[in-house]
Structures are given as C-alpha cells and as structure tokens.
C-alpha cells in the first residue's frame, strides 16, 4: 500500500464532509479528507471570537477596501469586518454569472459549517413525495421512513435544541431542551394560533446550538457570536463535533490546500480509483487512491469536480450520462418579509444574546390551503427591543439625547420568508473554459433564475407576513421584497440529484453515482427537491446513511 | 497606511482615553492620520465641537473625552465612497458659512445653546426634497451624527458603564424585568 493510498477519500470538510469522515473512520476505514483551503484549528484560530464590539476598528462595518476586494460577497450581509477571513476570495476564485447568482463560499477546513445559520429541521413525507404528486422533475428515491432513523442519529450527535411541537409538516426529533421565546414572541405565537384556529404555528427555532453539555462541548453561552467560531464548541461545526470524533479514531488524515481537480476513473472496473489533487500552495499535482470516494465539496463545486472527471468516457463528465449533472440548481429564495412595532410589555426585556429566533413552518398548500403556486415557504424571525429611535425634535442632540440612548425603544417583531425553489432542468452550472481561476482551473458558469412559481410565491410570502403580524396585533407593519435572485439563501442544492432511474438522475437511493458505484455524493447536490426547510440536517442524515451503506457494501465486496 | 500609524490610530480609537504626546502633533495638522480625506486641525476641532454638542460631557464623559470625533474621521476615511467624502468636505465649508451667516461667529465661539440650535435646525430639515439647506451640508452633518452615535453606543465606556454588557452572558432570560431609568 503506497503512502498515497487510503481506504476512503472525502473531498471537502464542511458539514457533510465532516460527517463522512467521522462515519467512515469510526467504521475503521483509513480516510483522507481533502480540503481546498487553509486549516482553521478549533478555538485557537477563532481569532475574533473573544473580542468586544469596541475592539473592531470599524465596529464590525465594511470598509471601501473590503467592498472593492469582494465584488460578490458585498451583495449581502456576509461582508463584514468580524469574520472576513472565513469567506472565500471572490478574486482568487471567480465564476461566471450568466444570470446573477450570489455565491458565498467558505474555503477552509470546516467550510461553511463555521458560519452556517444552524437552523435544523427534518423534512416530512409531504416533501419527499412532492415531485411525484406534482408530476415535476423526478421522484425522490427515498421516503421519510428511510431517513428518519438517520435524522435521529444525526441529531443525537450534532446536538439540536428544540421543542417537540407535534407538527406533521415538521416532524419532531431527538432534541435537547429548547431555547426560550421572549414574552412578545410567546404572545404573538398564541395570538396566531387563536386567529388561524391552530392551522398556523409559531415555534422556537430548532438549532444546532447545544443547551446542555454534550461530548466535551460546553452548552451555549448566549453570546450570539457563532459565526466567529465558538470557543465553547457550543454549535455544531466540523471543528467542534465531527473532526474531533474522526481524529479520535486514529484513522483520519486531513490535507488542507488540496484542490481536487478530478476523480480518477478506471474504465475497466467502471469505478473510481482515486483523485487528482492540485496543491493550492505549491501548484504541484498529486494523486491519491482509495476504494471509495465521498464527494462533499458543496453543491456547485461537487458538480464542477464531476464535470472535470472521466471526460474521455463521458464528454460531460462523471455522472453526466443522465444529462442531469450540473442541472436542477436550487436555493431557497428569500429577502421577503414583514416587520412592525409591538405595543405592550414595556416593563419587560431579555437578558443574554440568543442565537436563535422563532420559526413559522409551512402552511401554504397544506390541509385546506390552496394557492396559485405549488409548494410553500416558512418564516424565521424574532422580537426584540430596538435602541433609541423616538424622533422628538428637541431631543435629537445634547444631554437629554445622550441619556435617552441608554433607554430601550419599543418592541419590534420581524420575520423573513424562506421559499421553496423548484428543480428546473434549465437552472444549471457548466464549465466556463474561457476563464481561469488563480490556479489556472476553468471556472463555473451559473445560469439560474427564479421562475413564475417562485415569483407568485413571493407575493404570497409578503402578503401573508403582513397579514399574520397584523392578526397578532403588531402595529405599523411594513413589508419588504428585495433582490429576487438565487444564491443568497446559501442553500445551493440539486446539481447531482438522487433518483430512481439512471436515465434521469445522477445518484441512486444510496447517493452512489450510477456511473461509478464507489463514488458517493452526499452534499446539497444530491437533493431532488428543495422543500423550504433549512437543508443541512438532511445532508448530515443522508451522509451518515450513505456511509453506513458504503461500508457494508465494501465488506460484501459489492463496490 | 504604515503599520506604526495604523497602530497609533487603533490605540486612539480603541483606547478611548489614550493621550498622544504633544510632540507627535504637527501644528495645523489633524491628530488622526487619514489616507483619503485631508482634514486640518481646525476642521478636526469643528468635527469635535459638533460631536461634543451631540454627545456632551455631563456628569459622564462626552464625545471629546471618548475621542468620538476621531472615530468619525476614521470611519469617513475608510468606509465612505469618494463622492461621500467630497460631499463631507463641501458640506463642512457650507456649514461653516451658514454658522457665520446666522451668528456672525465661528461654531467654536458659539455658546452651547446656539450650537444646539444650529444642529437642531439641520435635524428639522428632514424632507429629502427640501432645498432649505444644501444637501452636502446635510450629508456632512448626517455622517457626524450617525458615526458619533455609533461610536458612542459601541464604546467600551457606554457598553460597560451605561448599559449592561457581558461578553459571555451564559444564559438567556426571556422575561427580564425592566424599569425606566430616571433621566439625569
């Protein structure tokens, strides 16, 4: 066995890559995890995590230099002073936007598991059955019962706090104790339940922040600084959870600065034999070999690797025989919501910075609800007291103004929708061979847009948000509907979808590439539809399930 | 920016009360090193006087004690577009002229009451379509007001002495009782 030979290769170290590494190493496989960017060591490298707000020269804001350096990241909230180092350089790694697509990336060990939003929801049968019932795209090859035990498995290890709300649309999981809603959120939730006669719910967010100590991790300290990296390991990330578990087996090797340029495909065995790596620091090329390859490079980059692989056999790359590789790109569309002022509870506040909010699960097109679009949307939001904003002319400068700055303003309630995007064949990524990145590699071209179904849904998202807040007694309700573009949900999905038929899907029910059975793709690219729930928990469950299958199949010499 | 200068600026802004030895200050030049805008000592004093009018020293520190005017200039230099910086400079000249015209004095020579009156006059001209005051003057004042308040409410002094702040709260109390303070 040569120095570059392992039992398994995992490409990528984010949420799903970390899970693949943990599962495969715990089952005894010598595994190498390849990460294209630098290493970030747990706690030690969270350089800003213990800084106070006044220690940032621009108090967290963005400078003109940052805006010039990050032409894509500047389009939304991720561009900021506090965790700038966690976002990939738009200039080193450009991409072509045939249509606008806001692609926010994390190129380092841990990937976006360091900066993710942590909201963790199970899907329900209505989500897995949706394509079949609507007669669009292809049917999911699995149902809720196939993934339910793996949801439990993922939740128990990751640590998901949440309430068992008993909702059919949002199955309960194996939760840690929930975080609290504040007084106003509780009141709004009750009023909504009454007004909509229990057909709509507002629940505390289910989040991958632990509320009790777990696996040598300290419970959440309510700092709300998660995306700086947590010195307490209180939220799930590769660094806090899967990486230490994988390292503890003694079976894991992590290689940062390793850009996987292709999967090496063996025509005779019709399997992958390894991968080719470009060292991002030295520009040297290496080959690594293994019995199985897990592709977890994130939806668009996983498609990029597959499209670059086995092109002597299939012009469109490994997994392209169906004609679906790179197609069906989805995201959750957002930027639509409502907010207003809540009167009352002036004698109440909250203490601590809760890294969580409320969640309103999908209600559209469920039960008796019928719309002029298919599928639905959920909302995330919160209630808080704003700072000084009372506009009293004579109090706008001077000592009285200064005093007033210490007084909390009125309660505000706000929420934003997350809408399901349908899988459209024509929403796609392709290779743009006319353009190269810093390493001379061809870039991707992204060609995707919202269509009629999403546009109609956005109108409803705005109107329902207003209607619900008003029904809950919220005053001066304002709505917003901005930037109808894909990508900014940072929930890319679908470029190597699972299915039941190799003619119409890239992966089978076990996330195996139909055209190379020892290649498993278990990140967002595997998703056959998008639902409207945050998807990462589903990636975790799919990855653990696929890894279990892969090891069993290896034992039986099936792959 | 040279590393040494950058560190000095950081010390000014982070330290709040850090004092510079007098020998470091060249006559006529601003105390804060800026890359993109050219501010002289007199202009820095004006920004300081305006910030101090917004957040005055009372029985607690004011804008100048907390070097908020230097924070305003740092933000102006790093975080605003070239056009906004130009508007700031034009607006400053317009402001100086407007004070002169109204009171026949410089802002520095005005008593507090008239300084407040001058600023409240700008605050009152809210309508974006209004041409009562030049728009650069409003941009100039708007940047100072916004960043003075930003710098104040995010200062160590304010966060630790005026409101409750803990880096590690360790808990979430969803029903915290709150009693309105009696203003001084």
Query: Chain B 85-114, CB below 8 Å of chain A: which residues?
Result: 112
Instruction: Return the structure tokens found at A379.
Output: 């909302």
Q: What is the per-residue pLDDT for A130?
A: 98
Chain B residues lying within 8 Å of A355, measured CB to CB? none
User: In chain A, whose CA is at the least distance from the CA of B161?
Assistant: A406
The chain A residue lying nearest B179, using CA atoms, is A347
State the pLDDT at residue A391. 56
User: DSSP 3-state assignment of A299?
Assistant: helix
Percent over 70 (pLDDT), chain B: 83
Supply the pLDDT for residue A1: 53
How far off is chain A from B28, nearest CA to CA, in Å?
Answer: 25
pLDDT digits (tens, 9 = 90+) for A85-94: 999 999 999 9
- Interface contact flag, B123 A346, Cβ < 8 Å: no
Which are the contacts of B171, defined by CB distance < 8 A and separation ≥ 6? Answer: A222, A351, A352
| B12 shares contact with chain A (CB less than 8 Å) | no
To probe the interface with B, which of A221, A225, A355, A399 has the most B CB atoms within 10 Å? A399
Confidence at B17, pLDDT banded by 50, 70, 90: very low
List the single residue in A58, A352, A402 with the smallest CB-CB distance to B169: A352
CB contact under 8 Å between A54 and B159, yes or no, is yes
**Mean pLDDT, chain B, as a whole number?**
85
Collapsed DSSP state (helix, strand, coil) of residue A480: strand
Write the residue in B54, B124, B176 that is nearest to A351 by C-beta: B176
C-beta atoms of B78 and A65 within 8 A: yes
Q: What mean pLDDT do residues B64-79 have?
A: 98
Q: Distance (Å) from the C-alpha of residue A229 to the closest C-alpha of chain B?
A: 14
Helix (H) or strand (E) holding B12: helix B3-15
Distance (Å, rounded) from C-alpha A545 to C-alpha B156?
A: 49
Shortest Cα–Cα distance, A244 to chain B (Å) = 24
CB contact under 8 A, A407 and B13: no
The CA–CA distances, whole Å, from A522 to A75, A302, A536 equal 29, 10, 11
CB of A468 closer than 8 Å to CB of A192: yes
A260: left (phi over 0), alpha (psi -120 to 50) or beta: beta
Task: Say whether pLDDT at B27 is over 80.
Answer: no
pTM for this entry:
0.93
Q: How far apart are CA A522 and CA A498, in angstroms?
A: 10
Nearest to A58 among B55, B75, B162 (CB): B75
SS3 content of chain B, % helix, strand, coil (to 5): 60, 5, 40
B120: nearest CB among A354, A387, A393 = A393
Chain B residues within an 8 Å CB radius of A63: 78-79
- Whether B144 has its CB under 8 Å from any CB of chain A: the answer is no
For residue A223, list chain B residues with Cβ-Cβ distance below 8 A.
167-169
- At A537 the pLDDT is 98
In chain B, whose CA is at the least distance from the CA of A389?
A: B149
Residue-level pLDDT at A387:
75
Check: CB of residue A39 under 8 Å from CB of residue A109. Answer: yes
Q: Which residues of A touch B153 (CB under 8 A)?
A: 387, 405
Name which of B56, B156, B176 is nearest A399 (Cβ-Cβ).
B56
Query: CB of A81 within 8 A of CB of A57?
Result: yes
Any idea of the CA torsion for A210, A214, A215, A217, to the nearest 10 degrees?
60
- Determine which of A50, A59, A344 to mutate to test the interface with B (most B C-beta atoms within 10 Å): A59
Q: Which residue of A has its CA nearest to B12?
A: A57
The phi and psi torsions of A424 (rounded to 5 degrees) equal -100, 130
Decide: A525 and A327 in contact? Cβ < 8 Å: no
Mutate to test the interface with B, among A56, A57, A358 (most CBs of B within 10 A): A57
Nearest CA in chain B to A60: B154
CB contact at 8 A, A485 and A101: yes
Q: How far is A158 from chain B (nearest CA, A)?
A: 20
When CB atoms are compared, the residue of B120, B163, B164 closest to A394 is: B120
pLDDT tens per residue across span A276-286: 999 999 999 99
CA distance A58 to chain B (A): 7
Return d(Cα A86, Cα A83) in angstroms, integer: 6
Residue B20 pLDDT more than 70?
no
- Over 60: is that where the pLDDT of B10 sits? no
**DSSP-assigned beta bridge partners for residue B176:** A349
Of B155, B165, B178, the CB nearest to A408: B178
How far off is chain B from A222, nearest CA to CA, in Å?
6
Choose the mutation target among B72, B143, B168, B182 for the interface with A, i.e. most A CBs under 10 Å: B168
* Locus of tokens 């390793």: A258
Listed in order, the ranges of chain A carrying CATH 3.50.50.60 are 8-42+83-117+228-330+427-444+493-555
Reported as a single tens digit per residue, the pLDDT across A9-38 is 999 999 999 999 999 999 999 999 999 999
List, in order, residues 6 or more apart from A220 with CB less than 8 Å away. Answer: A161, A179, A209, A210, A211, A232, A234, A235, A355
Residue B9, pLDDT > 70, answer: no
pLDDT < 50: residue spans in chain A: none
pLDDT of res. A394: 66
Q: Residue B48 — pLDDT band, cuts 50, 70, 90?
A: very high
The residue whose two tokens read 């505390």 is A204
- Whether domain A8-42+83-117+228-330+427-444+493-555 has CATH 1.25.40.10: the reply is no
Q: Output the CA torsion A340→A344→A346→A351 (10° steps).
A: -70
Placement of tokens 């991409």 in the chain: A95
Q: What is the pLDDT of residue B31?
A: 82
Contact B124 A397 (CB under 8 A): no
Mutual orientation of helices A15-26 and A536-555 as an angle, nearest 10°? 30
* d(C-alpha A219, C-alpha A235), whole Å: 8
For A221, which of B123, B150, B170 is closest by C-beta distance?
B170
∠ CA(A305), CA(A309), CA(A310), 5° rounding?
165
């Amino acid at each position: 066995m040569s120095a570059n030979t392992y039992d398994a290769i995992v490409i990528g170290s984010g949420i799903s890559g970390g899970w693949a590494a943990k599962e495969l190493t715990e089952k005894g496989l010598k595994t190498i995890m390849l990460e294209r960017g630098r290493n970030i060591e747990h706690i030690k490298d969270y350089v800003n995590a213990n800084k106070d707000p006044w220690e940032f020269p621009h108090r967290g804001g963005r400078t003109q230099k940052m805006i010039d350096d990050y032409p894509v990241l500047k389009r939304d909230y991720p561009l900021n002073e506090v965790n700038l180092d966690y976002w990939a350089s738009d200039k080193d790694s450009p991409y072509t936007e045939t249509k606008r697509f806001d692609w926010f990336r994390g190129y380092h060990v841990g990937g976006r598991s360091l900066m993710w939003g942590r909201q963790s929801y199970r899907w329900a049968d209505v989500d897995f059955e949706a394509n079949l019932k609507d007669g669009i795209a292809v049917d999911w090859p699995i149902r809720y019962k196939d993934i339910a035990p793996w949801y439990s498995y993922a939740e128990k290890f990751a640590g998901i706090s949440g309430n068992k709300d008993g909702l059919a649309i949002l199955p309960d999981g194996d939760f840690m104790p929930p975080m609290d809603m504040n007084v106003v959120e509780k009141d709004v939730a009750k009023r909504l339940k009454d007004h909509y006669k229990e057909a709509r719910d507002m629940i505390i967010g289910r989040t991958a922040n632990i509320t009790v100590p777990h696996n040598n991790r300290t419970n959440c300290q309510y700092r709300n600084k998660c995306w700086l990296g947590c010195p307490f390991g209180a939220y799930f990330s590769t660094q806090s959870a899967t990486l230490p578990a994988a390292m503890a087996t003694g079976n894991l090797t992590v290689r940062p600065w390793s850009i996987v340029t292709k999967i090496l495909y063996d025509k005779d065995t019709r399997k992958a034999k390894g991968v080719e790596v470009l060292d991002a620091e030295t520009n040297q090329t290496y080959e690594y070999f293994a019995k199985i390859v897990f592709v977890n490079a994130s939806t668009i980059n996983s498609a990029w690797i597959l499209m670059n692989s086995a092109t002597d056999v299939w012009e469109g790359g490994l997994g392209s025989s169906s004609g679906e590789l790179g197609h069906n790109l989805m995201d959750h569309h957002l930027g639509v919501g409502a907010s207003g002022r809540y009167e009352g509870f002036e004698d109440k506040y909250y203490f601590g910075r809760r890294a969580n909010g409320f969640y309103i699960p999908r209600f559209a097109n469920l039960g008796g609800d019928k719309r002029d679009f298919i599928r639905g949307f959920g909302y995330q939001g919160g209630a808080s007291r704003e700072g000084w904003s009372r506009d009293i002319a004579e109090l706008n400068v001077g000592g009285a103004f200064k005093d007033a700055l210490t007084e909390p303003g009125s309660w505000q309630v706000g929420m934003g929708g997350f809408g399901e995007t349908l899988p459209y064949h024509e929403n796609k990524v392709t290779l743009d061979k006319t353009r190269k990145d810093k390493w001379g590699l061809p870039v991707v071209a992204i060609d995707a847009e919202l269509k009629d179904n999403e546009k109609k849904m956005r109108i409803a998202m705005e109107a329902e948000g207003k209607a619900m807040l008003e029904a809950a007694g919220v005053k001066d309700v304002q709505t917003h509907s901005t930037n109808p573009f894909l990508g900014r949900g940072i929930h890319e999905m679908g470029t190597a979808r699972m299915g039941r038929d190799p003619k119409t899907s890239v992966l089978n029910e076990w996330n195996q590439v139909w055209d190379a059975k020892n290649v498993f793709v278990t990140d967002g690219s595997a998703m056959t539809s998008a639902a409207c729930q945050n998807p990462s928990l589903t990636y975790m469950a799919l990855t653990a399930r696929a890894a279990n299958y892969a090891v069993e199949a290896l034992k039986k010499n099936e792959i | 920016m040279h590393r040494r200068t950058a560190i000095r600026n950081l010390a000014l802004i982070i330290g709040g009360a850090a004092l510079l030895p007098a020998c470091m200050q060249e006559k006529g030049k601003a105390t804060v090193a800026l890359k993109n805008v050219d501010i002289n000592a007199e202009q820095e004093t004006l920004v300081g006087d305006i910030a101090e009018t917004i957040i005055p020293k009372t029985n607690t520190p004011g804008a100048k004690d907390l070097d908020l005017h230097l924070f305003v200039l740092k933000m102006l230099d790093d975080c605003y577009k070239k056009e906004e910086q130009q508007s700031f400079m034009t607006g400053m000249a317009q402001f100086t002229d407007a004070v002169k015209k109204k009171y026949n004095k410089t802002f520095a020579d005005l008593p507090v009451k008239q300084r407040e009156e001058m600023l409240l006059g700008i605050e009152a001209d809210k309508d974006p379509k209004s041409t009562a005051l030049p728009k650069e003057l409003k941009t100039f004042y708007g940047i100072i007001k916004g960043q003075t308040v930003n710098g104040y409410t995010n200062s160590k002094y304010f966060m630790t002495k005026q409101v409750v702040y803990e880096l590690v709260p360790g808990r979430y109390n969803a029903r915290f009782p709150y009693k309105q303070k009696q203003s001084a």
